[in-house]
Amino acid sequence: MKMRNYTSVTEFILLGISNSEGLENMLFVLFLVFYVFALLGNLLIFLTILASPNLHTPMYFFLGNLAMFDIFFPSVNSPKMMDCLVGQSCTISYQGCVSQVFFYHTLGGTECFLYTVMAYDRFVAICHPMRYTVIMNHRVCTYLTVGTWLGGFVHGSILTFLIFKLPYCGPNEVDSFFCDIPVVLSLACADTSLAQTVSFTNVGIVALTCFLLIITSYTRIVIAILKIRSSEGRRRAFSTCSAHLTSITLVYGPVILVYLRPASSPWLDSVIQVFNNVITPSLNPLIYTLRNKDVKLALKKVLAAVAQPSGCKE
C-alpha cells in the first residue's frame, strides 16, 4: 500500500530553454510569430486544397493531411512554452504532462508514417504513371491516411503508458520546456530500464523503418527519373518531389544530428527541439507554395475570391 505514496507528484516545473536567461521577451516574440505563421499558413494551405477541385488528387490529399498535422503539432507545446517565457507559469499539471507526452509522440509517429506514405505516392506517380490513378484510388488513400493517424495513436499510447505507469514522488523539475520521455523518466521513483529500452526501441524502430522506406522509394524514383531521355521531363519529375524532400530533410536532419554527435549537449537539444516544434511547421507552407505551381495558382484564385466584394457580381 506504500506504493500509493510514490504518486504524490501532482505537477511538474518546466525549467525552460537552456541558456535563455535575459532573452525571454525576444524569444517569446520570435516563437509567437512562427506559431501564428504555422497556424495561418497551414490553415490556408488546407482550405486552398479543400476549395480547389484541381487539387483533389492523392498528392494534395496527403499534403492537406500534412497541413493539418502542422497545425496540431506546434500546438502541443508552444502555448505553454510561450506562457513560461513571459513569466506567467512554468508549472504543468501531472495530467498536462501526460497529455504533452501522448500528443507529442502520437503526432510524431503520425508524421513519420505520413512522410512515408507521401514518398510512396511519389514513387507510384513517377515509376508507374499509367497505373497511378488505379493504384492510388480514393479507397487506398483513405486507408493509408487512417493508417497513419491510427498508427501514430498506437505509438503514442504505448509510450505514454510505459512512462506514466511508473511512480513519481519527486523531484518534479523537468529539464526542458515541455514533457518528453527522457526528461520525465529521469524523475521516476522506480527502475526505468524497461521503459527506457522499450521506448527507445519503439521510437527507433518507427523512425528508422519509415526513413528506410522513404530512402527506398526515392532511390527507385531517382533511378526512374535518370532513365527519362528529355531534360525537361527529368526536371518536371524532380520538381514534383523537391518540396517533399525538403520537408523530409528539415524533419530528419536535426534528429540525425542529435543521435550522431559524440556527446550530449542540453543547449543543442533545446535548439533542435524548438526547430522541430515551432520552426519546421511554419516553413512547410512556404516550401509547398514556393516550389509548387499548382498550389500557387490555386492559392491566388482562393485569395482573389476572398478579396472580391460579394456585391460585385454581374
Q: What is the pLDDT of residue 263?
A: 54
The answer to whether the CB of 70 falls within 8 A of the CB of 284 is yes
The answer to whether residue 128 is domain-embedded is yes
Q: Summarize pLDDT for 201-255 with one digit per residue, the tens.
A: 777 788 888 889 998 998 898 888 888 777 777 777 777 777 778 888 887 776 6
The answer to whether residue 2 is domain-embedded is no
Q: Mean pLDDT, to the nearest integer, of 28-47?
A: 91
| Alpha-carbon gap, residue 287 to 248, rounded angstroms | 11
* pLDDT range class, residue 7, cuts 50, 70, 90: very low
To the nearest whole number, what is the mean pLDDT of the chain? 83
CATH code for the domain of 113 = 1.20.1070.10
Burial 87-107, CB ≥16 within 10 A → b, else e: eeebebebeebbebbbbbbbb
Of all residues in the chain, the percent with pLDDT exceeding 70 is 89
The answer to whether residue 312 is domain-embedded is no
| Alpha-carbon gap, residue 35 to 278, rounded angstroms | 6
23 pLDDT higher than 50: yes
Number of structural domains (the chain) is 1
Query: Looking at per-residue confidence, does 288 or 147 come out higher?
Result: 147
Q: Characterize the bridge pairing of strands 91-93 and 11-14.
A: antiparallel
82 HSE (CA, 13 A, CB side): 17
The answer to whether residue 144 is domain-embedded is yes
* pLDDT range class, residue 1, cuts 50, 70, 90: very low
Q: What is the pLDDT of residue 149?
A: 95
Q: Summarize pLDDT for 182-207 with one digit per residue, the tens.
A: 888 888 888 888 888 887 777 778 88
The answer to whether residue 313 is domain-embedded is no
Structural domain span for residue 207: 11-302
**6-20, 26-40, 104-118: least confidently modelled range:** 6-20
Question: What are 48's three cell numbers?
Answer: 486552398
Q: How far apart, in Å, are the Cα atoms of 168 and each of 6, 84, 188, 190?
A: 6, 23, 5, 8
The answer to whether residue 191 is domain-embedded is yes
Q: In what order do the strands lie in the sheet with 91-93?
A: 91-93, 11-14, 173-174
- Using the structure block, give the residue that is written with the C-alpha cell 530553454: 17
pTM of the predicted protein model: 0.85
Q: Summarize pLDDT for 115-144 with one digit per residue, the tens.
A: 999 999 989 988 888 999 999 999 999 999
Residues in the chain: 314
The answer to whether residue 314 is domain-embedded is no
The answer to whether residue 1 is domain-embedded is no
| Alpha-carbon gap, residue 76 to 96, rounded angstroms | 10
CA angle 111, 114, 117 (to 5 degrees): 155
